[in-house]
């Protein structure tokens, strides 16, 4: 069953009236600039038209083999207060949905973490600016497109985002700043916003409260399977639901945190508490995974709370009534983050790397990341070779405090090195047998302290090169 969001228009403020008047006066000029920018973008795109179509076809689930590490999409129950619909805006040449719209009720809260990339995208700039302006109060809609990142597109890209937000705001009777926008796809191509706004009427007519699987598929690029996670928690005796989707396969080394994640709960949580929670749990979930060490210009994680569960409103992240909710939220974020690694472009191994005995947790994390991002380490995993010497190399190049003569390396329960030397119990046959598993664990003790950190990664295969070599050209 679908329903149309309530239409409650706020009276325009004087400054908004002036702005609207100026916008109408400058509209002919804005339209001309938009046409010129789109013409340039179209000319650039035509130079790669056939190859892009080929790459896009490979991104289609029917054309690209599903990752051997894939997990099934979970059964996700509707979450009170959020409706969603997908559609085809045409950013891909082949037939597929590439547009997602979510609509939230009045009074919903929002929070987010974003890429720290020096070339952040226009959608990231929009969300950061308006979340700061609204303090997360009153989020009413989210619109996401795949196929065009709208990054490194300057003022024309920013204007395109504003027009998308304006179109969505007009359709769903809210302010532009209450619309969150996200994009993923090729960097350097200007977003043709008309492709989105022209689909909004159809999208509105198909809003549903049970469209999570379709939503996850619509935001995919080189992903080989849709990614979702769901949990239920109790707040003061009332059951609340938490559901989320994400996309990402390559260019995965979130630091906000191409990666997008959208999580919704029907709990009633203030924006400040919501922001504290998402900032806290991002560190050991999305910021603890890596596929290739490359951060995206568009990394975005948005968390929405609709307040429709009937549970009491919580204003502090540390409120003891949120204990179960906090655990379940972290679990959902961790599940989604792990699925990014499982769908790493060309991945055949899911690898957990834990560093212990470090001086500080930050030092342990940097060492673990050094191991997880090393091409030599990752290719050794692809070849099912327990080359612990490469791991030692990666530990040393992190330039963090270690004790060489206390350094130990373990694969699963098998010691490769102990106290700075090859382990007395090292058994090549047992190690080779272990390396054939799809899921592996490596533990490194650096012998200088008591701090630890864990990072998840995947191997680096020839398939990664094929996918990224063909992505655009």
Q: What does the H/E/C string look like for the chain?
A: CCCCCCCCCCCCCHHHHHHHHHHHHHHHHHHHHHHHHHHHHHHHHHCCHHHHHHHHHHHCCCCCCCCCCCCCCCCCCCCCCCEEEEECCCCCCCCCCCEEEEECCCCCEEEEEECCCCCCCHHHHHHHHHHHHHCCECCCEEEEEEEECCCCCHHHHHHHHHHHHHHHHHHCCCCHHHEEEEEEEECCCCCCCHHHHCCHHHHHHCCECCCHHHHHHHCCCCCCCCEEEEEEEEECCEEEEEEEEEECCCCCCCCCCCCEEEEEECCCECHHHHHHHHHHHHCCCHHHECCCCCCCCCCEEEEEECCCCCCCCECCCCCHHHHHHHHHHHHHHHHHHHHHHHCCCCCCCEEEEEEEEECCHHHHHHHHHHHHHCHHHHHHHHCCCCCHHHHHHHHHCCCCCCCHHHCEEEECCEEEEECCEECCCCCHHHHHHHHCCCEEEEEEECCCCCEEEEEEEECCCHHHHHHHHCCCC
Q: Is 258 a catalytic residue?
A: yes
- Is the CB of residue 301 less than 8 Å from the CB of residue 116? no
Strands 227-235 and 179-186: unpaired
Instruction: Give the CA distances from residue 68 to residues 289, 343, 411, 465, in Å, rounded to whole numbers and listed in that order.
Output: 18, 8, 21, 17
CA neighbor of 34 nearest in space, from 138, 161, 123:
161
* Catalytic member of 197, 258, 285, 297: 258
Q: Which two tokens stand for residue 231?
A: 């949990």
Active site residues: 258
């Amino acid at each position: 069953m679908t329903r149309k969001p309530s239409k409650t228009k706020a009276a325009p403020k004087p400054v908004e009236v002036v702005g609207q008047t100026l916008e109408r006066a400058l509209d002919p000029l804005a339209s001309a600039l938009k046409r010129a920018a789109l013409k340039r973008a179209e000319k650039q795109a035509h130079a790669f038209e056939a190859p892009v179509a080929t790459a896009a076809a490979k991104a289609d689930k029917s054309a690209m083999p599903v990752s051997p590490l894939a997990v099934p999409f979970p059964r996700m129950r509707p979450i009170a207060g959020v409706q969603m619909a997908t559609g085809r805006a045409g950013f891909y040449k082949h037939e597929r949905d590439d547009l997602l719209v979510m609509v939230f009720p009045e009074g919903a809260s929002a929070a987010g973490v974003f890429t720290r990339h020096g070339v952040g995208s226009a959608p990231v700039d929009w969300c950061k600016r308006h979340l700061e302006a609204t303090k997360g109060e009153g989020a009413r809609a989210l619109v996401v497109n795949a196929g065009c990142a709208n990054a490194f597109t300057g003022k024309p890209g920013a204007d395109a985002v504003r027009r998308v937000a304006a179109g969505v705001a007009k359709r769903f009777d809210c302010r532009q700043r209450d619309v969150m926008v996200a994009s993923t796809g090729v960097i350097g191509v200007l977003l043709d916003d008309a492709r989105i706004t022209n689909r909004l009427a159809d999208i509105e007519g198909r809003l549903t409260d049970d469209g999570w699987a379709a939503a996850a598929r619509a935001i995919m690029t080189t992903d080989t399977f849709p990614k979702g996670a769901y949990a239920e928690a109790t707040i003061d005796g009332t059951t609340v639901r938490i559901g989320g989707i994400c996309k990402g396969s390559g260019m995965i080394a979130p630091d906000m945190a191409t990666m997008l994640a959208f999580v919704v709960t029907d709990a009633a949580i203030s924006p400040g508490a919501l922001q504290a929670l998402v900032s806290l749990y991002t560190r050991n979930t999305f910021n603890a995974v890596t596929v290739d060490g490359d951060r995206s210009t568009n990394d975005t994680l948005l968390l929405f709370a609709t307040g429709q569960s009937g549970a009491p409103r919580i204003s502090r992240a540390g409120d003891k009534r949120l204990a179960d909710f906090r655990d379940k939220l972290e679990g959902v974020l961790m599940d989604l983050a792990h699925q990014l690694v499982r769908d790493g472009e060309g991945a055949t191994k899911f690898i957990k790397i834990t560093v212990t005995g470090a001086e500080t947790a930050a030092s342990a994390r940097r060492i673990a990341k050094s191991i997880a991002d090393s091409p030599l380490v990752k290719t050794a995993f692809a070849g099912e070779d327990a080359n612990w010497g490469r791991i030692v190399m990666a530990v040393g190049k992190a330039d963090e405090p270690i004790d060489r003569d206390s350094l130990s390396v373990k694969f699963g329960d098998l010691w490769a090195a102990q106290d700075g030397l090859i382990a007395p119990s090292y058994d090549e046959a047992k190690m080779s047998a272990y390396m054939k598993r799809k899921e592996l664990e490596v533990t490194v003790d650096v012998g200088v302290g008591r701090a630890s950190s864990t990072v998840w990664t995947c191997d680096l295969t020839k398939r990664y090169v094929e996918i990224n070599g063909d992505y655009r050209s």
